[in-house]
Amino acid sequence: MRATQPAEEMDVRQAAVRPILHPGELYWLVVAGLLVVVGAGVLAYAHQFRDGLGVTGLNQRVTWGVYIADMVFFIGVSYGGALTSAILRLTNAPWRAPLTRMAEAMAVAALLIGALFPIIDLGRPDRMLNLLLHGQVGSPVVWDVVAITTYMATSVIFLYLPLIPDLAFCRDHLGPAAGRLRHLLYQRLSLGWQGTPRQRHLLEQNSTIIAIIIIPLAVMVHSVLSWLFGVTMRPGWNSTIFGPYFVLGAMFSGVAAVILVIAGFRKAYHLEAFIEELHFKYLANILLALGIGYAYFMFAEYLTEGYKMEGYIVDEGSGPLLEALMVGQYAPLFWAFIVGGLVVPMALLSFPRTRTIQGIVTASIMVVVAMWLKRFLIVVPAMATPIMPVAWGSYMPTRVEGAITLAAAATIPLILMVFFRFFPIISIYEMEEMAEANAHRDAAAQHAEAD
């Protein structure tokens, strides 16, 4: 069968391993640029570690800020990657083959970063081990620790399993140019893959099992995260829909981030032959559906909150929480989210004229940025809103918080770029399986015609 399509096959193989051997001149430039941003963030954290959380804009009223928004954002993004890939696998969407590797790798990279934020936010990171020594099952923080670590392990396996045949390919086909370190890696990690029918069957089976497991797991992780807020009695957080609301928000931002990662690497590594406009259109459909779903959840949340006028009105100067969001001090950010995160991107994704790669990528950038903003709007106003007879609290993030957040954002492409220097950027195995399946179908069709 394979012999029928030698040209395309070679292309996939070449394209998938090209970043390993020849990443291009720009590669080091981009890596250097990202490293500068990451370095600034590391320095900022060193400063915070030495001098305490006093270096942030947090205060006695607003005790959670940008770091908690970052945590929800990055873990959400990770979730989108894993979920897209898992759902596409389970529904056996034939167009997924060139996208899954990047989506799965992004899921792991974003999770590694997101999982750091609860620690960055701790007043005493040096006592982190207390969570294991004295962990209380009744605390949402402990739920988070359990959920995030389980999800992390699962998403690594989810990335690793389909990688095994590709590692074997690298082991067998990459020459000495790849270097000894890589060969050692391929040798060890490919687990003696030879592509025997039994091995293929096992891989198929286990990939499916993991894809099934990872969906409820990802739902759980993000629900648990939302309950950090949902279990409190604060206006704005005291909500029963926070679990699903956060899950949908995570998928929305996650799919947008997947689109960005795919678009970036497609351009940088010239993968246009494999990732076509059609792929973007499929993803755009998913993004559009999620955006509409998210808008609905948000409406449901705010309608009930606004109807009950949740939030304390302490004097004529301050209204309930929703008023502060819609016409008060948070209105500019709130409307920036509504317009920039929902209205414009949804329009871009809907009209045929803007449903181009460019339009879809633009919409995705807007969604990603706006969804960070949305997390900020979930965390900060609810903390600043008065729950005792006092005025609103205030919070202005400092440069330390900014530097750490930017560094986190820069780390994700950095991890991916380094990762694809070692591992094929496109799943060769899955691409070839798809090609085989197509060939089968074509042959069958020809047969039918001949009859």
Partner 1 sequence: MAISRRRMLQGLGAAVALTASAGVGLATSPLRPSRSASGTPEGGADSQRQWAFVVDMRRCDGCNDCTAACQSTHYLNKDQEWIKVYEVKARDGSTYYMPRLCMQCENPPCLKVCPVAATFKSREGVVLVDQDRCIGCRLCMAACPYNARYFNFTDPPRPPGPFDNPMPEFPVPQRRGTVGKCVLCAHYTSRGRLPACVDACRMDALFIADLNSDVMTNRSGETLQFSRYLRENDAFRYKEELNSSPRVWYVAGHGQALEERRRR
Residues at the interface with partner 1 (CB under 8 A): 51-54, 56, 58-61, 63-64, 118, 121-125, 127-128, 130-131, 133-136, 138-142, 145, 228-229, 231-234, 237, 315, 383, 387-390
Sign of the four-CA dihedral 109, 115, 121, 126: negative
Q: How far is the CB of 314 from partner 1 (least distance, A)?
A: 8
Nearer to partner 1, 138 or 197 (CB): 138
Nearer to partner 1, 58 or 262 (CB): 58
Query: 342: Cβ–Cβ under 8 A, 6 or more apart, which residues?
Result: 291, 294, 295, 370
Helix (H, G, I), strand (E, B) or coil at 393: coil
Nearer to partner 1, 155 or 385 (CB): 385
| 124 CB burial (10 A radius; 0-12, 13-18, 19+) | exposed
Sign of the four-CA dihedral 146, 217, 248, 409: positive
Q: How far is the CB of 131 from partner 1 (least distance, A)?
A: 6
Q: Helices 399-419 and 100-114: crossing angle, nearest 10°? A: 150
Q: What are the tokens at 367?
A: 């969604």
Q: What are the tokens at 94?
A: 């034939």
Nearer to partner 1, 27 or 64 (CB): 64
Nearer to partner 1, 176 or 317 (CB): 317
DSSP state of 55: G
Q: How far is the CB of 245 from partner 1 (least distance, A)?
A: 18
Nearer to partner 1, 283 or 321 (CB): 321
Query: 152: Cβ–Cβ under 8 A, 6 or more apart, which residues?
Result: 108, 111, 112, 115
DSSP state of 391: P
Q: How far is the CB of 397 from partner 1 (least distance, A)?
A: 14
C-alpha span between 248 and 103 (Å, rounded): 17
DSSP of 190-247, one letter per residue?
TTT----HHHHHHHHHHHHHHHHHHHHHHHHHHHHHHHHHHTS--TTT--SSHHHHHH
Q: How far is the CB of 58 from partner 1 (least distance, A)?
A: 7
Q: Are 83 and 254 in contact (CB under 8 A)?
A: yes
Longest dimension (CA), the chain: 85
Q: How far is the CB of 54 from partner 1 (least distance, A)?
A: 4
Helix (H, G, I), strand (E, B) or coil at 56: coil
Q: How far is the CB of 312 from partner 1 (least distance, A)?
A: 11
Nearer to partner 1, 315 or 451 (CB): 315
Nearer to partner 1, 63 or 356 (CB): 63
Q: How far is the CB of 140 from partner 1 (least distance, A)?
A: 6
End-to-end CA distance of the chain: 21
C-alpha span between 251 and 54 (Å, rounded): 34
CA angle at 164 for the pair 162 and 166, rounded to the nearest 5°: 90
Q: How far is the CB of 117 from partner 1 (least distance, A)?
A: 12
Q: Are 221 and 78 in contact (CB under 8 A)?
A: no
DSSP state of 340: I
Nearer to partner 1, 141 or 191 (CB): 141
Nearer to partner 1, 229 or 330 (CB): 229
Q: How far is the CB of 242 from partner 1 (least distance, A)?
A: 13
Nearer to partner 1, 265 or 376 (CB): 376
Query: 212: Cβ–Cβ under 8 A, 6 or more apart, which residues?
Result: 86, 90
Q: How far is the CB of 388 from partner 1 (least distance, A)?
A: 5
